[in-house]
Amino acid sequence: MSDFNNYGNYGDGDGGFDVSQNTGGGFNNDHSTGGNGSQRNQLRQSLTPVTIKQINDSTQLNPDGEFKIHNVELNMISFIGIIRKVTTHQSAIIMTIEDGTGSIEVRKWIAENDSSISLTEEEEKFSSFVNEKYIFVGGSLRQFNNKKTIQNAIFYPIEDSNQIIYHHLSAIENHLRCQGIPKNTTTKTENKLFVDNVNPNKSSGSTIDKVLQVLKDNSSTMSEGVQLEYVVQKLNISREDAKNYCDELIESGKIYTGFDDNTYIAI
């Protein structure tokens, strides 16, 4: 437990949270853990969309370090779900949120000295959402006493239900991205998950597609870009044609210029 010295106040239960939040100490924790180890890289500070199952299944490799699940790093996370239960405890509202993949308890802390917001009003507000409304939760994932909690959580009700789908699709995309390129996956997919970049209006044998293919094939090995001359030689076309095709590909956003104007990098 020595690793948790920074969290002296948190140790024995709920009261600890209280102190931290009321003094606005939340983000300071990130600074105080800076010296925690050389392995610690800069934490991802944007919200990672996840499902509650991912949160519950995730494991923490180092105390106070990042959580990981299926190669997805969880630090600042966001999830959505339906509030199934609301209770109050001291100066916090405790909500149980469920999204079909699992459930999690989150707390919204109400500062006692904050006159703009009262515990009862907030409890009434969130109680009215119980079994009625999806809410969005964002915050940083922490673990205390083997229980995962969301620190500095923000909550807001979802008014446009498309956001539910958007969130889940983002979570799927992020998950797949972390698994590497999902080509030839072992899942029994009949349809490909992603649409090919190739423009279906053009036959795959057209010269411009061949140019793009040459650039794609070689972009990974030629870090400064593929030379125009290389394309000319490879496809046995005139320099002028090659240049025109490359310009067209740049305009359509499929390639970029590399080290200079005569080198190209495909996305």
In angstroms, the CA 126 to CA 157 distance is 9
162, 184, 203, 220: residue in contact with another protein (rule CB under 8 A): 162
Residue whose CB is less far from another protein, 56 or 252? 56
How near is the Cβ of 193 to another protein at its closest, in Å? 7
Fill in the DSSP letter of residue 124. H
Spell out where 99-218 has E strands: 103-109, 134-144, 147-157
- Asked whether 130 and 83 are in contact (CB, 8 A), the reply is yes
How near is the Cβ of 58 to another protein at its closest, in Å? 11
88, 90, 103, 213: residue in contact with another protein (rule CB under 8 A): 103
Q: Is 160 in the site for another protein (CB under 8 A)?
A: yes
How near is the Cβ of 104 to another protein at its closest, in Å? 9
CA torsion sign, 73 to 74 to 77 to 81?
positive
Q: Is 87 in the site for another protein (CB under 8 A)?
A: no
Query: Which residues neighbour 189 within 8 Å (Cβ) at sequence distance 6 or greater?
Result: none
- Asked whether 37 and 61 are in contact (CB, 8 A), the reply is no
10, 50, 110, 150: residue in contact with another protein (rule CB under 8 A): 50
77, 80, 82, 226: residue in contact with another protein (rule CB under 8 A): 82
Span of 40-48, 114-122, 145-153, 184-192 interacting with another protein by CB under 8 A: 184-192
Residue whose CB is less far from another protein, 23 or 189? 189
38-47 in b/e burial notation, b at 16+ Cβ within 10 A?
eeeeeeeeeb
For the packed helices 207-219 and 239-251, what is the interaxial angle rounded to 10 degrees? 80
Count Cβ atoms below 10 Å from residue 26 Cβ, excluding itself: 15
28, 45, 56, 206: residue in contact with another protein (rule CB under 8 A): 56
Q: Is 43 in the site for another protein (CB under 8 A)?
A: no
Q: Is 101 in the site for another protein (CB under 8 A)?
A: yes
Reading the block at residue 136, the tokens are 């969005």
- Give the full edge-to-edge strand order of the sheet including 67-69: 59-60, 67-69, 72-74
How near is the Cβ of 149 to another protein at its closest, in Å? 18
Q: Tell me phi and psi for residue 153, to 5 degrees.
A: -70, 145
Q: Is 2 helix (H, G, I), strand (E, B) or coil?
A: helix
How near is the Cβ of 154 to another protein at its closest, in Å? 21
Q: Is 161 in the site for another protein (CB under 8 A)?
A: yes
- Asked whether 122 and 129 are in contact (CB, 8 A), the reply is no
Map residues 114-153 to x or -, x wherever contact with another protein holds by CB under 8 A. -----------------xxxx-------------------
Site for another protein, rule CB under 8 A: 50-51, 53-54, 56, 70, 82, 84, 98, 100-103, 131-134, 159-162, 164-165, 168-169, 171-172, 175-176, 187, 189, 191, 193
